[in-house]
Structure 1
Amino acid sequence: MKLLFVLPLLLWTCLPVSAQWPDRHGPSLDGHVPPEAAEDLPTQWSESQNIAWKAPLHGEGHSSPVILEGRIWLTAATPDGKQQSVICIDEQTGKVLHDVVVFENDEVEPLGGAQGFNNYAAPSCVLAPGAVFVHFGSYGTARLDADTAEVVWQRRDLPCQHFRGPGSSPVLHDNMLILTFDGADQQYTAALDANTGKTLWRTDRSTDYGDLDDFGKPKREGDLRKAYCTPGFVTVGDQVQLLSVGSRAMQSYDVKTGEELWQLRHSSYNAGIRPLTLPEQGLVLINTGSRGAQLIAVKVDETTRGDITESHVQWVREKLNPRFAMPVHHDGLVFQVTDIGVASCIDAETGEELWKKRIPGEYRSSPIVAGDHLYFFSEQGRGTILKAGREFEEVAVNEVPEMGTTACPAVADGAIFVRGKTHLYKIAK
């Protein structure tokens, strides 16, 4: 059975595809650039070449730029987390259209060991026509008017002890805004009415955490229960499933009701990579987290129910898997890059490694696929373009240190948008 991708909002279909990047992983949630937007995309740039503009940013943020209706949206926060803002930038000119403090906090939860690693503006916005949905974990969620940046509704009553800061981004499906809270104290998914902010359903994770241990080290239950995953979607038969990876297990839910459909147990934690659907193979790829992270290919069909740990796994890649960057797929192949820059190509059907190669830099940004090219952006400002093929082939390398990023790139109308250290860059011929 072939699986189907789910575009979160059917309303997007009334807008030009080339002008849309409404989710941190693009319109199809898998890092694929639509063909119209990929045409003539630049492969070479520098501070003096193919940089259309750069717009100043303030504060801190890991959130990725998202684009709809000619506007780019991203979030920022003060280092102490007392103010959390949304910034809107004109796609064509780089002019800042809105810069609004959405939430102010008298007290914030310390980032602990993640200080300097995480911050208080890590989740990305998600967009629908006329609407901007911003999320800062338990500190607040809001819908803004896309024209005025005024708050339409907000929720500040969804609790979670993030322990080292929030990280899961919101997702949209039909008229639902879906939020993920995987904290030290509680772990749950909530679906809100996108128009009103009212809770439609909430489902707690059914994970049996058992006697938690940290691979032989002293117990740190806060770390071992939390996660940062942004959910994915898949349609199986006539049912849309929400795929969400947490610590020690992942769950699939009926997106309409929140009912758990199936569960896959694993031994890791800190899961932060969105599940990837491989429609041609009928597989879902699951990255399990930060310690001993596995890449697991799960066969999904209409009979997939209950605990599938021993029954539906097609292959497992045990080593050289990333903690942050989501894999991408192209023409029966899966491509990924580890935190320390080991890129690899994997046969999607069998899990066989076809090649691996070091590309210098550290990587938290997920790659994108444009035509038969792969784009990788490092924390040091290195942009590497490879051919998306069964053999390693380097197309170009570009070095702009100030473009060092921890966010995913966005693409619209033949341009790439990268959140650098202090500016948002537009790369275009």
Structure 2
Amino acid sequence: MKWMLRGVSAATIMLLVSGGDHAASSAAEPSGSAAKAAWWPQFRGPSGDGIAMQQNPPVEFGGETTSLWRTELVGKGWSSPVVADGVVWMTTAVERQPTEEERLELLRKTDNDEKKFRTLAIAASIELKLLAVDLQSGSLTKTIDLTTVQQPDAIHSLNSYASPTPVIDGGSVFCHFGTFGTFCIDRDSGDVVWSRVLPLKHAVGPGSSPMVYDDKLILIQDGMEQQYVVALDKATGETIWKADRPPMRASNGDQRKSYCTPIAIEDSKGRDQLICMGAQWMISLDPSSGEEIWRVDHGSGFSVVPRPVVHQDLVMFATGFGSKELWAVDVTGTGDVSNTHVRWTVSRGVPTKPSPLLLDGLLYIVDDSGVASCFAADDGSVVWKKRLGGNFSASPLLAGGRIYFANHDGDVFVVRPGDEFDLVQENHLGEQIMASPVAVEDSLLIRTDQAIYRF
């Protein structure tokens, strides 16, 4: 193996799995095979890549009649569920909706151009909460109040005030709401251990999910007015290091912001790297100090959402809005590698929200408008393309040897991976899906705009 995904805490156990394209890892992973089967601690799962090799969820499902349970949820949130010790955790925001007159008045108090008002949503106030649901019964066991924000900033109409996915580490759940606050919650007691507010102008709301690396909680803070990566002490919330982004060409703050989630790797040289995508620059940082290892100028892309994936010594990432390209960069360089370490780029069918999925040297993506594609990871050549239909924000999940693609309309397409497109099943929930599906205990957890299902 030339590389492996780094774990998210000092207690991490590395489990290499088939295909040589990913490694499963976990933070303070529970012992016993049954416990591990119900372990989904962060955005895109134990290894952060959307792959659950040991799971075998159903192929055909839909609606309450085929679900093990369905639990309605208070508030609104596009964060994905995280699971440990038989408990499903999710963040949510309970909004006090303004009248149309109040809405316009609130929007005028923001920095947004009135021409953008039709694409924005804003609440008069929000109550941010953490919900706990029993994995076996679906019962709501805890509703933890975190904070109330009066007159919060506006968000995009497709976003929510609770979009970043929490991360579980040991006995803690870390919840991040961007500029509205970051919280460490004790899983047993439900008490807030610490909280921080790191102000940022998101423009369209928060989106970057947190990750844990050893003793650090890593946050990407790419706003309109400032862009940086910060490591907080996961025990206290105090800042360990802060790394500012490289200088940018864009004079408009809207084209400097971003919403990506980092990954951690060890390259073939044995270097630990924190890979942090942002507007214009993809950068690699030393996770212990925050010092830059390398950087690559990917052009004019901004508002990047998809989480990168790694194949051997290649990191693959989408460049966001503006340029909308898919890049592969060799991670073994040092300094500015823009002219030396870019291995390939693709400019068609690239997503701005769903993350890519990598298995056995093939890269699977679905763009926002529902076109699924398969590329060869080595050179970026197209293997197949197929329109699924609908609009997509959720990232794909691979489990049981199948890929699950979920669109906004509540349609879930089950596709068999390989060098030919093979649609196995279409399922229809009839509720909006923005959160990425989760696989635990040979079942699927799917959060919709109304409820969470277990199939």
TM over 0.5: yes
Task: Give the match for residue 309 of structure 2.
Answer: 276
Quick check: 1:52 aligned with 2:68? yes
Given that 1:335 and 1:346 are in contact with CA atoms closer than 8 Å, whether structure 2 keeps it comes out as yes
Task: Give the match for residue 117 of structure 2.
Answer: none
- Change in Cα spacing, 1:110 to 1:329, as seen in structure 2 (3 Å) is same
Give the 5 Å matches for 1:53-132. 53-79=69-95, 80=123, 81-111=125-155, 114=156, 116-132=157-173
Give the 5 Å matches for 1:219-258. 221-236=252-267, 237-258=269-290
Given that 2:174 and 2:185 are in contact with CA atoms closer than 8 Å, whether structure 1 keeps it comes out as yes
Given that 2:77 and 2:449 are in contact with CA atoms closer than 8 Å, whether structure 1 keeps it comes out as no
Task: Give the match for residue 52 of structure 2.
Answer: 33
SS in 1 for 2:353: coil
Quick check: 1:136 aligned with 2:177? yes
The one-letter amino acid of 1:254's match is D
TM-fit CA distance, 1:372: 2.4
Quick check: 1:411 aligned with 2:439? yes
SS in 1 for 2:5: coil
Q: What is the CA deviation profile of residues 151-205 of structure 1, one whole-angstrom value per residue up to 9, with x for unaligned ones?
A: 011112x221112111101000111101111101101111111111111111111
Q: Distance in 1 between matches of 2:53 and 2:172?
A: 22
Q: Distance in 2 between matches of 1:93 and 1:13?
A: 23
Q: Distance in 1 between matches of 2:30 and 2:444?
A: 23
- Change in Cα spacing, 1:211 to 1:56, as seen in structure 2 (3 Å) is closer
Give the 5 Å matches for 1:298-377. 298-301=329-332, 304-377=333-406
Q: Distance in 1 between matches of 2:270 and 2:235?
A: 25
The one-letter amino acid of 1:163's match is A
SS in 2 for 1:160: coil
TM-fit CA distance, 1:271: 0.8
Quick check: 1:8 aligned with 2:8? yes
Quick check: 1:285 aligned with 2:304? no
Deviates more, 1:10-19 or 1:117-126: 10-19
Given that 2:30 and 2:85 are in contact with CA atoms closer than 8 Å, whether structure 1 keeps it comes out as no
- Change in Cα spacing, 1:211 to 1:300, as seen in structure 2 (3 Å) is closer
Task: Give the match for residue 160 of structure 1.
Answer: 200
Task: Give the match for residue 422 of structure 1.
Answer: 450
Quick check: 1:189 aligned with 2:229? yes
Task: Give the match for residue 174 of structure 1.
Answer: 214
Quick check: 1:210 aligned with 2:243? no
The gaps in structure 1 that reach 5 residues or longer are: 213-220
Q: Distance in 2 between matches of 1:334 and 1:369?
A: 12
Q: Distance in 2 between matches of 1:418 and 1:211?
A: 38
Task: Give the match for residue 21 of structure 1.
Answer: 40
Quick check: 1:388 aligned with 2:417? yes
Q: Distance in 1 between matches of 2:307 and 2:141?
A: 31
Q: Distance in 2 between matches of 1:105 and 1:254?
A: 35
Given that 1:209 and 1:248 are in contact with CA atoms closer than 8 Å, whether structure 2 keeps it comes out as yes
Q: Distance in 2 between matches of 1:250 and 1:348?
A: 18
Given that 2:401 and 2:417 are in contact with CA atoms closer than 8 Å, whether structure 1 keeps it comes out as yes
C-alpha RMSD of matched pairs (Å)? 1.4
SS in 2 for 1:401: coil
Q: Distance in 2 between matches of 1:370 and 1:193?
A: 33
Given that 1:68 and 1:129 are in contact with CA atoms closer than 8 Å, whether structure 2 keeps it comes out as no
TM-fit CA distance, 1:262: 0.8
Q: Distance in 1 between matches of 2:356 and 2:28?
A: 24
Q: What is the CA deviation profile of residues 66-98 of structure 1, one whole-angstrom value per residue up to 9, with x for unaligned ones?
A: 111111111111332521111111111111111
Given that 1:183 and 1:225 are in contact with CA atoms closer than 8 Å, whether structure 2 keeps it comes out as yes
Q: What is the CA deviation profile of residues 251-298 of structure 1, one whole-angstrom value per residue up to 9, with x for unaligned ones?
A: 11000100011111122111111111113xx21002111222111011
SS in 1 for 2:253: helix
Q: Distance in 1 between matches of 2:140 and 2:243?
A: 39
The one-letter amino acid of 1:101's match is D
The gaps in structure 2 that reach 5 residues or longer are: 13-26, 96-122
Given that 2:260 and 2:306 are in contact with CA atoms closer than 8 Å, whether structure 1 keeps it comes out as yes
TM-fit CA distance, 1:14: 4.1
Task: Give the match for residue 189 of structure 2.
Answer: 148
The one-letter amino acid of 2:225's match is D
The one-letter amino acid of 1:294's match is E
TM-fit CA distance, 1:210: 2.3
TM-fit CA distance, 1:361: 1.5
